[in-house]
Amino acid sequence: MNNEETNASTEALQRERLVLLAVISTFLSLIPTVYAAIISNSMTLIADLLRCSTEFMAILVSWIILKKVARSDVKRFNYGFGKLEQLSCMTVGAALFVTFLLCFVSGIRRLVAPEVVLNAGFGFGLAVLSVVGNSFLWITNYRSFARHASPVSDAQWRLFRAKTAATMVVALSLGAGLFFGSVGWSMYFDGLGSILLSLFMLWSAYALVSSSVPDLIDCALEESLQVPIRETLRRHQNEYLQVYTVRSRRTGKRIFIELFISFAPLQTFAKVNDIARNIRNDIQAAVKGSEVVVVPLVDGDEQRS
């Protein structure tokens, strides 16, 4: 295993541990959130509980997928793992959208029939702590994304940014109810908090889905990335007979390239292997984030490719 493969494996394991931390912290936060929702009649806290529950399931799915990616053989030409990462982003987005619907409807009902929130002090303290914890995970995941971008790390830092904003809404809604409880119109803060919370989740769901759907559809590389491939092949044109097929696709931040190249029938396997390795290394150096496979052909093989 070379240094590049070792670094990629290490980054994958670090992302896996970071998402595992998110799974554990989100699960642990559910326990006091359930208690806060039970002892109060706050729609905002109930909406927050629904949000935390769906996000926990989505993050758990992301961790399971990352665990599979981190344990995979990096020498294999794996198209499917990029798809799995994108699907995990779609899972997070779908969970946020479902929770948006529940929170929005609940908030509207509470605005129509407002009630005084009971025992909001515990929920307010929990919301403040959640703001601090989610901010920490937001920054940590963003640093991981900046070091080594991937669809899952991108989804995670955006998710915790949204969670930070959402818990701030919960804290402001409950805090306003606590400090202005003697004022009649303070009863509307709970419904407004639930609606604002739902809008944050809708925005986050849209951002995740809109960025993930295009990468689920395979497409050839743009012209700017095809140029260095052609230039590399031109530099090595005296070492092979003909290029029959060039296939390329982009999955998230990763680029996959397949080259079907014919060589002289009498050329030794060792020589063909050296040429193929040089072409692969030159293209991977020219096209950052690419994985290249060179498929050697002899006379007649091109018809079967």
pLDDT in tens, 219-249: 555 667 778 888 888 898 888 888 888 877 7
* Distance, CA of 27 to CA of 57 (rounded, Å): 9
Which residue, chain included where needed, has tokens 């090595």?
236
pLDDT (mean) for 10-24? 75
pLDDT at 217 over 80: no
In angstroms, how far is the first alpha carbon of the chain from the final one? 29
pLDDT (mean) for 17-46? 83
pLDDT band at 305 (very low <50, low <70, confident <90, very high): very low
Q: What confidence score (pLDDT) does residue 221 get? A: 59
pLDDT at 303 over 50: no
Tokens (6 digits) for 72 = 């995979």
Phi, psi of 148 (to 5 degrees): -150, 100
State the DSSP string of 127-189: HHHHHHHHHHHHHHHHHHHHHS--HHHHHHHHHHHHHHHHHHHHHHHHHHHHHTTTSGGGGHH
* Distance, CA of 221 to CA of 287 (rounded, Å): 11
Task: Look at 96 and 185; give whichever has higher pLDDT.
Answer: 96
Residue 36 and residue 84 in contact, taking contact as beta carbons nearer than 8 Å: no
* Distance, CA of 82 to CA of 86 (rounded, Å): 6
Q: What confidence score (pLDDT) does residue 127 get? A: 86
Q: What confidence score (pLDDT) does residue 50 get? A: 79
Tokens (6 digits) for 261 = 């190249």
The string of pLDDT tens digits covering residues 192-212 is: 877 887 887 788 778 777 766
pLDDT at 302 over 50: no
- The pTM (predicted TM-score) of the whole model is 0.57
- Where would I find the H helices in 40-79? 43-70
- Alpha carbon 205 to chain centroid distance? 12
3-state class of 120 per DSSP?
helix
Residue 188 and residue 111 in contact, taking contact as beta carbons nearer than 8 Å: yes
Q: What confidence score (pLDDT) does residue 80 get? A: 54
| Strands of the 242-251 sheet, one edge to the other | 242-251, 254-262, 290-297
Strand partners, 243: 261
pLDDT (mean) for 4-26? 71
* Distance, CA of 288 to CA of 284 (rounded, Å): 6
Q: What confidence score (pLDDT) does residue 177 get? A: 74
Tokens (6 digits) for 228 = 């260095």
pLDDT (mean) for 271-284? 90
pLDDT (mean) for 174-196? 74
pLDDT (mean) for 291-299? 80
- Alpha carbon 37 to chain centroid distance? 29
Q: What confidence score (pLDDT) does residue 175 get? A: 82
Task: Give percent of the chain with pLDDT exceeding 70.
Answer: 76
pLDDT at 186 over 50: yes
What is the rounded radius of gyration, in angstroms, for the C-alpha atoms of the chain? Answer: 26
The CA-CA-CA angle for residues 145, 147, 151, to 5°, reads 30
According to DSSP, residue 252 is labeled: T
Ranked by mean pLDDT, which of 112-121, 208-217, 251-260, 262-271 comes out on top?
A: 262-271
Task: Give percent of the chain with pLDDT exceeding 90.
Answer: 2
